[in-house]
C-alpha cells in the first residue's frame, strides 16, 4: 500500500450539473395529502393555484379543499350548538334564587367536555361568533352570554359552587369534534333542588403538627347535599350533514364558511362612501384651483400696471 498516494475523491460534477425538473405540481398526491398539507393553510393553496395552469388544476382537487372545509365547518358549528343548547335549557326556570348548592359534574364517558355557565337573562341572536368566551354581534364585543368554566376529560369530575335554577351546558371540545364530527352530542341542565343527593366531598386539611402520629391523615371526607350531573357515553351518534352529503365543490363551500357576507357588504359600503366624499373633495378643490388661477391672473395685471407707473416716475422695480 502506497502511503503517499492521493485519496480518492468522487467527482460531483455530474450531480451538480443535473437539472432537476421536479415541481410542486408533480408531487404524488397521496404524499402531499399525508405530509405537506398539514404545513399549509388555505391562503398558501390559493397562492400556489395562481402560479400556472398546471398548479391550478393540481391544487383545485376537491380532497384538498375538503381538508380545509371540515375543520372550518366544525368551528362554525361549535358556537351554533352552544346557542341552540342555551335556547332549549333556558326556556323555563329562569328565576333568580340565592340558595347556594355544590355542583359536581362527573365525566363517565370517553369524550372530553367543555363546561359553560349560562347567564341568568341571555339574549339570542343568529349573527354571532364566539371568541375568547365572548359573544360578538356585528364585530362588536358585547357582554357574556355564557362563560367557559373548565374542561373535563374522561374519568374526571368538576366541583363548583352554584345556585338554585342556575343553568349549565356541557359540549365536547372542538379538538374532539374535529376528529369525531357528530352533531347530536352536548346537553344543558339547570340546578333543581328536588334532585339533590348525599355526595362525599373529600377535602385536603392542614398537615398534623405531630409528625410521628400514626393516625395523622391529610384528607377528610364529608357528605353534603349536592346536585350531581353524571355524563355517560352517548348513544345513536349522528354525523354532521356534510359527511354524508355528496358535495362536489368543497372549495365553494369552504369560501362560504370563511367569507362573512355582512362584513363584506359593510366594507364595500364603506369604500363607496369614502369614494363619494373624495369625489366631493375633488370638485371642491377644482373650484378652488379655478378661483386661485383667476386671482393670480388679476394680480399679474395689477402688478404690471403698478410697475408701469413706477417706470413713468423714474423708479425701477426690484424684488
- pLDDT tens digits, one per residue of 212-257: 444 555 778 788 889 999 999 988 888 877 665 666 777 878 887 7
Q: Give residue 281's pLDDT.
A: 92
Q: Give residue 132's pLDDT.
A: 38
Strands 100-107 and 140-141: unpaired
Tell me which residue of 227, 219, 221 sits closest to 198, measured CA to CA: 227
Mean pLDDT of 311-317: 78
Highest mean pLDDT among 5-14, 72-81, 140-149, 154-163: 154-163
Question: Which residues, including other chains, have CB under 8 Å from residue 146's CB and lie 6 or more apart?
Answer: 82, 86, 116, 117, 118, 119, 122, 133, 135, 169
- Name residue 167's beta-bridge partners: 190
Q: Is the pLDDT of residue 149 over 80?
A: yes
Q: Residue 317, by phi and psi: left (phi above 0), alpha (psi -120 to 50) or beta?
A: beta
Domain borders along the chain are 93-235
**How long is the chain?**
319
Mean pLDDT of 2-14: 48
Q: Give residue 93's pLDDT.
A: 57
Q: Give residue 45's pLDDT.
A: 87
Per-residue pLDDT band at 133 (split at 50, 70, 90): very low
Q: Give residue 40's pLDDT.
A: 86
Distance between CA atoms of residues 125 and 137, nearest Å: 8
Q: Give residue 148's pLDDT.
A: 87
Q: Give residue 65's pLDDT.
A: 86
Query: CA dist 276 to 262, 269, 288, Å?
Result: 21, 11, 18
Q: Is the pLDDT of residue 308 over 80?
A: yes
Q: Is the pLDDT of residue 142 over 70?
A: no
Choose the weakest-confidence range: 33-37, 244-248, 256-260: 244-248
Question: Which residues, including other chains, have CB under 8 Å from residue 20's CB and lie 6 or more apart?
Answer: none
pLDDT above 70 covers a percentage of the chain that reads 76
Angle between helix axes 42-49 and 62-89 (nearest 10 degrees) is 150
Mean pLDDT of 3-27: 54
pLDDT above 90 covers a percentage of the chain that reads 19
Percent helix, strand and coil across the chain, each rounded to 5? 40, 20, 35
Per-residue pLDDT band at 12 (split at 50, 70, 90): very low
- Please give the helix or strand (H or E) that residue 203 lies within, else none: strand 197-204
Q: Give residue 279's pLDDT.
A: 93
Instruction: Give the 3-state secondary structure of residue 174.
Output: helix
From the number of C-beta atoms within 10 Å of its C-beta (0-12, 13-18, 19+), residue 79 rates as: middle
- pLDDT tens digits, one per residue of 264-304: 888 899 999 999 999 999 999 999 999 999 999 999 888 88
Amino acid at each position: 500500500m502506497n502511503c503517499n498516494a492521493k485519496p480518492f475523491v468522487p467527482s460531483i460534477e455530474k450531480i451538480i450539473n443535473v437539472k432537476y425538473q421536479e415541481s410542486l405540481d408533480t408531487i404524488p398526491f397521496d404524499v402531499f395529502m399525508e405530509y405537506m398539507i398539514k404545513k399549509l393553510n388555505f391562503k398558501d393553496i390559493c397562492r400556489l393555484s395562481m402560479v400556472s395552469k398546471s398548479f391550478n388544476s393540481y391544487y383545485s382537487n376537491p380532497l384538498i379543499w375538503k381538508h380545509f372545509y371540515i375543520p372550518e365547518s366544525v368551528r362554525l358549528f361549535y358556537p351554533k350548538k352552544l346557542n341552540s343548547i342555551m335556547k332549549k335549557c333556558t326556556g323555563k326556570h329562569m328565576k333568580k334564587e340565592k340558595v347556594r348548592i355544590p355542583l359536581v359534574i362527573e365525566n363517565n364517558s370517553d369524550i372530553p367536555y367543555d363546561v359553560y355557565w349560562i347567564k341568568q337573562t341571555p339574549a339570542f341572536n343568529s349573527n354571532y361568533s364566539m371568541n375568547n368566551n365572548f359573544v360578538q354581534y356585528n364585530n362588536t364585543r358585547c357582554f357574556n352570554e355564557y362563560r367557559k368554566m373548565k374542561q373535563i376529560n374522561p374519568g374526571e369530575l368538576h366541583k363548583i359552587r352554584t345556585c338554585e335554577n342556575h343553568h349549565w351546558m356541557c359540549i365536547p371540545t372542538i379538538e374532539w369534534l374535529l376528529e369525531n364530527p357528530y352533531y347530536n352530542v352536548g346537553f344543558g341542565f339547570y340546578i333543581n333542588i328536588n334532585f339533590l343527593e348525599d355526595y362525599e366531598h373529600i377535602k385536603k386539611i392542614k398537615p398534623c403538627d405531630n409528625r410521628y402520629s400514626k393516625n395523622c391523615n391529610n384528607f377528610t371526607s364529608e357528605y353534603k347535599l349536592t346536585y350531581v350531573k353524571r355524563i355517560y357515553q352517548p348513544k345513536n351518534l349522528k354525523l354532521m350533514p356534510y359527511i354524508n352529503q355528496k358535495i362536489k365543490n368543497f372549495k365553494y363551500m369552504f369560501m362560504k364558511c370563511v367569507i362573512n357576507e355582512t362584513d363584506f357588504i359593510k366594507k364595500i359600503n364603506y369604500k363607496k362612501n369614502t369614494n363619494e366624499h373624495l369625489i366631493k373633495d375633488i370638485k371642491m378643490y377644482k373650484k378652488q384651483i379655478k378661483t386661485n388661477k383667476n386671482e393670480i391672473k388679476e394680480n399679474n395685471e395689477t402688478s404690471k400696471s403698478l410697475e408701469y407707473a413706477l417706470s413713468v416716475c423714474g423708479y425701477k422695480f426690484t424684488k
